[in-house]
């Protein structure tokens, strides 16, 4: 895409269409910087032309373990600030894995049960880490994994240090939906912007399927949309073909 704004509008359009057809749609929510243009475009769209979103449900991908309740960088706080409030969603309908160490041993299974009880995720928004992670499934994560504790790589902790006062404040552990959980969502939308994501995108889209590149798990999914800018696309070997397919996309295809 030519800009992050255009990418945001494209995905927001698909989400709006989904909610219009299914008012209690289940959204899979990513945090981090990448999905912000989607949430901003959705907020704009709902403000300009409101639709009923009171029954929309949502599941975040992941949460840090051990941050004090209410910490502004906990993903519960981030999802509330960046998604629930600007979009006017019903707070009780939006779930985030519980990163409280006291209940962490059962939190993963509880989260899996909640996703299943909701009927599964209709559209899963995903960013990708420089390590190739989806959610916080760092290299070595099983393609069959479900929601569980992971240890963050030092690369990911360094990348996320921008949100904290000091790099040492970035938690060491997280609870994340597994690759197996993510693969059960009915539609995956992977977004990536910037040169720093080019290797991870090439590995995810065109590399061998391997737990060493967790993003490559998307190759197993029946419906994936990858939305990138020129820099993030720069290491794709088949780029000319993808551009050709995009240029000839029929209006009835959807994203």
- Site residues for ligand F6R per CB under 6 A: 30-34, 61-62, 127-129, 133-136
Least spacing, CB of residue 91 vs ligand F6R, in Å: 18
Which is closer to ligand F6R, CB of 127 or CB of 178?
Answer: 127
Which is closer to ligand F6R, CB of 31 or CB of 213?
Answer: 31
- SS3 call for 195: helix
Which is closer to ligand F6R, CB of 52 or CB of 124?
Answer: 124
Which is closer to ligand F6R, CB of 17 or CB of 77?
Answer: 77
Q: Collect all residues with Cβ–Cβ distance below 8 Å to 46 and sequence separation of at least 6.
A: 16, 53, 87, 88
Which pairs from 201-209 meet CB under 8 Å and 24+ separation?
201/128, 201/226, 201/228, 201/232, 201/233, 201/235, 201/236, 202/235, 202/236, 202/237, 203/132, 204/128, 204/132, 205/236, 206/236, 206/237, 206/238, 209/143
Question: Are the CB atoms for 215 and 180 separated by under 8 Å?
Answer: no
Question: Are the CB atoms for 86 and 150 separated by under 8 Å?
Answer: no
Least spacing, CB of residue 128 vs ligand F6R, in Å: 6
Least spacing, CB of residue 209 vs ligand F6R, in Å: 18
Residue whose C-beta lies closest to ligand F6R: 127
Least spacing, CB of residue 24 vs ligand F6R, in Å: 23
Q: In whole angstroms, what is the distance from residue 136 CA to residue 91 CA? A: 24
Q: In whole angstroms, what is the distance from residue 5 CA to residue 227 CA? A: 12
Least spacing, CB of residue 74 vs ligand F6R, in Å: 12
Which is closer to ligand F6R, CB of 5 or CB of 52?
Answer: 5
Question: Are the CB atoms for 18 and 123 separated by under 8 Å?
Answer: yes
Which is closer to ligand F6R, CB of 57 or CB of 132?
Answer: 132
Which is closer to ligand F6R, CB of 32 or CB of 46?
Answer: 32
Least spacing, CB of residue 183 vs ligand F6R, in Å: 15
Least spacing, CB of residue 10 vs ligand F6R, in Å: 17
Beta-carbon count within 10 A of 53 CB: 19
């Amino acid at each position: 895409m030519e800009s992050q704004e255009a990418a945001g509008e494209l995905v927001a359009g698909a989400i709006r269409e989904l909610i219009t057809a299914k008012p209690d749609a289940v959204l899979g929510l990513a945090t981090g910087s990448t999905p912000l243009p989607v949430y901003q475009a959705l907020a704009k769209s709902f403000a300009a032309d409101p639709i009923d979103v009171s029954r929309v449900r949502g599941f975040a991908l992941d949460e840090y373990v051990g941050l004090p309740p209410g910490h502004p960088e906990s993903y519960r706080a981030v999802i509330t600030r960046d998604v629930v409030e600007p979009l006017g969603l019903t707070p009780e309908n939006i779930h985030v894995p519980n990163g409280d160490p006291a209940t962490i041993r059962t939190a993963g299974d509880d989260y899996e049960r909640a996703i299943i009880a909701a009927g599964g995720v209709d559209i899963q928004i995903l960013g990708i880490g420089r390590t190739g992670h989806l959610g916080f499934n760092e290299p070595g994560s099983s393609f069959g994994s479900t929601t569980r504790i992971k240890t963050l790589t030092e690369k990911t902790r360094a990348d996320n240090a921008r949100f904290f006062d000091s790099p040492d404040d970035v938690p060491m552990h997280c609870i994340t939906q597994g690759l197996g959980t993510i693969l059960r969502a009915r539609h995956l939308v992977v977004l990536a912007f910037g040169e720093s994501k080019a290797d991870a995108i090439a590995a995810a889209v065109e590399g061998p399927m391997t737990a060493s590149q967790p993003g490559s798990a998307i190759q197993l999914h029946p419906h994936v949309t990858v939305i990138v800018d020129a820099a993030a696309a720069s290491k794709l070997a088949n780029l000319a073909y993808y551009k050709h397919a995009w240029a000839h996309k029929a209006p009835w295809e959807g994203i």
